[in-house]
Amino acid sequence: MKRHIVALLADALEQLKRDGKLPVDADPEIQVERARDRAHGDYAANTAMMLAKVARKPPRELAEAIRAALPPSPDVASVEVAGPGFLNFILTPAARLASIRRAVDEGADYGRGKPGSLGSALVEFVSANPTGPLHVGHGRGAAFGDALANLLEAAGWCVHREYYVNDAGRQMDILALSLWLRYLQAAGEMVPFPEKGYRGEYLIEHARELLSREPRRFIRPAADLADGLSADEPEAYLDALVGRARDALGADDYRAVLDFALDAILDDIRDDLEAFSVSFHNYFSERDLADRIEPAIQRLTDAGHTYKADGALWFRASAFGDDKDRVLRRENGVTTYFAADVAYHLDKLERGFDALVDVWGSDHHGYVPRLRAALTALGADPKRLEVHLVQFAILYRGGEKLPMSTRAGEFVTLRELRDEVGKDAARFFYAMRRAEQHLDFDLDLAKSQSADNPVYYVQYAHARIYSVFRQLGERGLTHDTARGAENLHLLETEHEEAVIDLIGRYPEIVEGAAAAREPHQIAQYLRELAAAFHTYYKAVPFIVDHPALRDARLTLITALRRVVANGLAILGVSAPERM
């Protein structure tokens, strides 16, 4: 409809140019938007005000001229000039009601774009290091990433969801060491636990599990494990302990411990995400990248963008907009995380996605320029990579800021949040806010307010509609959908106008939210829609004696129920039939 009105305006401007009332080179971008106020009609255009200067005419006079030049349309009932020179379009009732029929007929597809019509996107999100359970910061990334993926899919993208598993490198060694030490402790050995190890309770539990499966296999004399090591340099101390653990266990058993720890934690993360209604097509292992890192580095070298200095191999990132150059291969020959990430994104590009959508924690923002630089250096269009930064929630409990450290094991887990406020409330709560918005997350408040959470408000609208139909059955009546569809013109209270208007907007909301990559627009819209419904519900009885009017109202709330369900599905929130 919006495009239709733009086309009408374009025709009118051409007509005015032919009549010499407008300079031929006047070629404004025609902006049509939904009127914010229903008194301003359905759609509004500011075209006359934008053209007033070049046309050297007062905006209202110009608006009048455009109005007169508009070709007739079966969908437009009238056009008014208003305010400083707006053109307000009022649709015919039939045009306005068309969306109600579509919502009923198309059901779950209402508001969705043609599948794949916008291209293909790889959405990478969460990608939390597999060293411990997900915490509430990851929860925000999961909720945002999943909603964004759903949203893009709804708008017409073909979406692939991926979780990048950092299962290589030093942190895995520290994890293996930490698990092994807990295992020895569980077996009754007196071994000290390093300050910088992963201290979380979860590892103690995983260690007990390992001990019950393998009561003897990983036992080693460990009393002297730390002998002669200085703990003054905690990180170096940790690395030394890792070395001794590897020696004590031997390569095979060391690897077995590491894999056990990794599998246990990844399984836990997967279960957690599933319960959070988040799923992935693929968990991409950093280890599987092993043989692709050197070729990626080679490609950068072949293109002349690397050099050696201080014994390391550097990427000339500063030539592509980054602050400084970045190391690809360290002095000790080990490639960096960055090198792996370049290989990973090169792999994504080679898989042929039109858009690489990365959802990262905002603490990684300094990392964006170097990755973009690398892709540019490799000859890719840097615009294919878009990175969305999600601010971590800063947690407060009892007015105190909570420390968040995976290694120290001090964090509120996503699971705890879910147990406390429920999956739907947590998902909606996260989805309501813009991702880059800082979030003071007062746990006491969030938990105490759970009954006031707007998610219930929206879900209740859905459940209430089901309730109306249950009531209908109890009164021995049925909904004649054909009669309802034929009698939508009977819906003329102001409350019905408002609901019809909002349902008609839904496809535009999806399109706009997807284009802006802002799932929170869906949440905002749903609150508005639910509010319009609850007001309508209170003011107007649906189950009335007049059959045609009754069926028309039931058709309208059926359409509304569909839109609520479709919108909630994008946010990963359930649409209950009763509450």
Bin 165: left if φ > 0, else alpha if -120 < ψ < 50, else beta: beta
By CB under 7 A, the residues from 337 to 366 that bind RNA are: 337-338, 362-366
CB nearer to RNA: pick between 42 and 218 = 42
Q: How far apart are CA 516 and CA 548, in angstroms?
A: 41
Residue pair 154/113 in contact (Cβ under 8 Å)? The answer is yes
Cα 558 to its chain centre, rounded Å, is: 28
Q: Which of 138-146, 177-185, 253-261, 513-521 is the region at the interface with RNA (rule: CB under 7 A)?
A: 513-521
Q: Which of 42-50, 143-151, 196-204, 209-217 is the region at the interface with RNA (rule: CB under 7 A)?
A: 42-50
* Nearest distance, CB of residue 547 and RNA, angstroms: 14
Q: How far apart are CA 179 and CA 186, in angstroms?
A: 10
> How many CB atoms lie under 10 A from the CB of residue 311?
10
For residue 424, the number of C-alpha atoms closer than 13 Å in the C-beta half-sphere is 16
Query: Looking at 54, 82, 248, 387, which residue binds RNA (CB under 7 A)?
Result: 82
> How many CB atoms lie under 10 A from the CB of residue 310?
8
Pairing of strands 86-91, 43-45: antiparallel
Residue 343's H or E segment, with its range, is helix 337-350
Bin 111: left if φ > 0, else alpha if -120 < ψ < 50, else beta: left
CB nearer to RNA: pick between 142 and 395 = 395
- Binding mask 49-78 vs RNA (x if CB under 7 A, - otherwise)? xx-xx-----x-------------------
Query: Nearest to residue 170, comparing CAs of 241, 218, 221, 230?
Result: 241
- Binding mask 365-404 vs RNA (x if CB under 7 A, - otherwise)? xxx---------------------x-x--x----------
CB nearer to RNA: pick between 19 and 363 = 363
Q: Give the total of residues touching RNA (CB under 7 A).
A: 89
- The helix/strand/coil state of 390 is strand
Burial annotation 46-84 (CB, 10 A radius, 16+ → b, else e): bbbbbbbeebebebbebbbbbbebbeebebbbebebbee
CB nearer to RNA: pick between 180 and 428 = 428
* Nearest distance, CB of residue 527 and RNA, angstroms: 6
By CB under 7 A, the residues from 448 to 467 that bind RNA are: 449, 451-452, 454, 456-457, 460, 463-464, 466-467
Q: Which of 39-47, 243-251, 376-384, 411-419 is the region at the interface with RNA (rule: CB under 7 A)?
A: 39-47
Query: Looking at 433, 505, 561, 562, which residue binds RNA (CB under 7 A)?
Result: 433
Query: Nearest to residue 151, comparing CAs of 442, 435, 452?
Result: 435
Q: How far apart are CA 396 and CA 446, in angstroms?
A: 10
CB nearer to RNA: pick between 95 and 186 = 95
Query: Looking at 83, 93, 156, 409, which residue binds RNA (CB under 7 A)?
Result: 83
By CB under 7 A, the residues from 471 to 510 that bind RNA are: 471
Q: Measure the CA angle with vertex 576, ends 573 and 579; round to 5°.
A: 120
* Nearest distance, CB of residue 266 and RNA, angstroms: 14
Query: Looking at 287, 434, 483, 517, which residue binds RNA (CB under 7 A)?
Result: 434
Residue-by-residue DSSP string for 43-102 = EEE-HHHHHHHHHTS-HHHHHHHHHHHPPP-TTEEEEEEETTTEEEEEE-HHHHHHHHHH
By CB under 7 A, the residues from 188 to 217 that bind RNA are: none
- The helix/strand/coil state of 315 is strand
Q: Which of 241-249, 346-354, 411-419, 447-455 is the region at the interface with RNA (rule: CB under 7 A)?
A: 447-455
Bin 217: left if φ > 0, else alpha if -120 < ψ < 50, else beta: alpha
By CB under 7 A, the residues from 529 to 548 that bind RNA are: 531, 534-535, 537-543
CB nearer to RNA: pick between 224 and 232 = 232
Rule CB under 7 A: say whether 233 interacts with RNA: no
Cα 122 to its chain centre, rounded Å, is: 13
Rule CB under 7 A: say whether 311 interacts with RNA: yes
* Nearest distance, CB of residue 223 and RNA, angstroms: 29
Q: Which of 186-194, 197-205, 237-245, 520-528 is the region at the interface with RNA (rule: CB under 7 A)?
A: 520-528
* Nearest distance, CB of residue 156 and RNA, angstroms: 16
Rule CB under 7 A: say whether 327 interacts with RNA: yes
Q: Which of 63-71, 99-107, 140-148, 167-175 is the region at the interface with RNA (rule: CB under 7 A)?
A: 167-175
